[in-house]
């Protein structure tokens, strides 16, 4: 699929006139990555807006203690790098692929021009940043509010809502997360993450394989996320 067609698949660019988008496509590039590949490193300068066409990307923050914290996981049709691009300066996170990933990279100056030219696009862009800010605040609230089971349950339900495929009796989340990834996402140790996920698997609440995580008992998981019950 040509770059222009890929750009048209993103709602962010739906208000951009056809001829203008054709010109933008000439400046944009497709970038393909394998699992574990680095897209950018914390401290790198921002040069592009990246649109995720396929794959999954995690944003990591390195703490002073040396421990990595996963800020969020993104997939199609999310944009990544937009806040740094708009505010300026260097990236405050590291972006790593969780799966084979295809990105559409649009140069920073092109995005700035489009936002000035197209009010509807600018509004969508701002709404996206506001949503990210709200997600971050919700994550901070979850990390402070409950125990590990509560936080892992919230994580899986959030991923299911954003990326899951509901087949009626179960929900498949096509994201491959290691026990360390889960620990980094909820602020716990990998040993605790292993213990919780192993117990839930034995109880038939969740399962996982090379394709991702499957929620088998969403009702119990929702109870755990609400603090109604506990299995640890």
Q: Given this model, what pLDDT does residue 202 score?
A: 94
Per-residue pLDDT, averaged over 188-215, amounts to: 93
Look up the CATH number of the domain holding residue 184: 1.10.10.10
Do 218 and 103 sit in the same domain of this protein?
no
Classify residue 231: in a domain, yes or no: no
- Portion of the chain with pLDDT greater than 70, in percent: 94
108 φ/ψ angles, rounded to the nearest 5 degrees: -55, -45
Classify residue 12: in a domain, yes or no: yes
Do 20 and 135 sit in the same domain of this protein?
yes
Do 122 and 157 sit in the same domain of this protein?
no
Do 136 and 154 sit in the same domain of this protein?
no
* 127-183 pLDDT, tens digit each: 988 888 887 777 777 666 678 898 899 899 989 988 888 887 899 999 888 888 999
Q: Given this model, what pLDDT does residue 57 score?
A: 95
In whole angstroms, give the CA distance from residue 51 to residue 68. 24
Classify residue 232: in a domain, yes or no: no
The number of angstroms, rounded, from the C-alpha of 229 to the middle of its chain's C-alpha atoms is: 28
Do 167 and 130 sit in the same domain of this protein?
no
Reduced to 3 states (helix: H, G, I; strand: E, B; else coil), residue 26 is helix
| More confident position, 50 or 158 | 50
Do 176 and 218 sit in the same domain of this protein?
yes
For residue 175, CA distances in Å to 25, 40, 112, 193 come to 29, 20, 32, 16
Q: What is the largest CA-CA distance in the chain?
A: 58
Domain boundary (121, 142, 163) is at 142
Find out whether 151 and 197 touch, Cβ atoms under 8 Å: no
Domain that includes residue 155, residue range: 147-226
111 φ/ψ angles, rounded to the nearest 5 degrees: -65, -45
User: Which pLDDT band holds residue 89 (cuts at 50, 70, 90)?
Assistant: confident
Classify residue 161: in a domain, yes or no: yes
Look up the CATH number of the domain holding residue 19: 2.60.120.10
Do 52 and 110 sit in the same domain of this protein?
yes
Do 111 and 196 sit in the same domain of this protein?
no
Provide the sign of the torsion angle of the four alpha carbons 162, 142, 184, 103, taken in this order: positive
| DSSP-based helix, strand, coil % in the chain, nearest 5 | 45, 25, 30
Which residue in 78, 186, 84, 34 sits closest to 195, CA to CA? 186
| More confident position, 201 or 167 | 201
Classify residue 203: in a domain, yes or no: yes
Do 94 and 48 sit in the same domain of this protein?
yes
Find out whether 107 and 27 touch, Cβ atoms under 8 Å: yes
Classify residue 166: in a domain, yes or no: yes
Find out whether 96 and 103 touch, Cβ atoms under 8 Å: no
Do 103 and 186 sit in the same domain of this protein?
no
Name the domain count of the chain.
2
115 φ/ψ angles, rounded to the nearest 5 degrees: -65, -35
Q: Given this model, what pLDDT does residue 2 score?
A: 84
Nearest-5° Cα angle at 40, 35 to 44: 165
Do 82 and 121 sit in the same domain of this protein?
yes
Domain boundary (90, 125, 142) is at 142
Do 126 and 192 sit in the same domain of this protein?
no
Question: Could you please report the per-residue DSSP string of 171-201?
Answer: EEE-----HHHHHHHHT--HHHHHHHHHHHH
Which residue in 224, 219, 170, 160 sits closest to 197, CA to CA? 224
Global pTM value: 0.80
Find out whether 81 and 48 touch, Cβ atoms under 8 Å: yes
């Amino acid at each position: 699929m040509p770059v222009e067609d890929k750009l048209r698949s993103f709602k962010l660019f739906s208000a951009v006139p056809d001829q203008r988008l054709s010109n933008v496509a000439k400046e944009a590039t497709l970038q393909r990555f394998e699992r574990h590949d680095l897209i950018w490193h914390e401290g790198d300068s921002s040069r592009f807006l990246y649109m995720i066409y396929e794959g999954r990307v995690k944003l990591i923050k390195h703490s002073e203690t040396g421990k990595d914290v996963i800020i969020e996981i993104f997939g199609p049709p999310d944009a990544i790098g937009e806040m740094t691009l708009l505010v300026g300066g260097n990236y405050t996170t590291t972006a790593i692929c969780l799966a084979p990933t295809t990105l559409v990279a649009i140069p920073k100056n092109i995005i700035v021009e489009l936002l000035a030219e197209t009010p509807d696009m600018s509004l969508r862009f701002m709404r996206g940043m506001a949503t990210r800010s709200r997600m971050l605040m919700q994550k901070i609230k979850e990390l402070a509010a409950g125990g590990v089971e509560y936080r892992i349950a919230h994580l899986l339900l959030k991923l299911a809502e954003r990326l899951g495929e509901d087949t009626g009796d179960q929900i498949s989340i096509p994201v491959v997360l290691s026990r360390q990834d889960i620990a980094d996402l909820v602020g716990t140790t990998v040993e605790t993450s292993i213990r919780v996920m192993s117990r839930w698997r034995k109880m038939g609440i969740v399962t996982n394989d090379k394709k991702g995580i499957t929620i088998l008992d969403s009702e119990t998981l929702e109870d755990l996320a609400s603090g109604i019950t506990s299995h640890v």
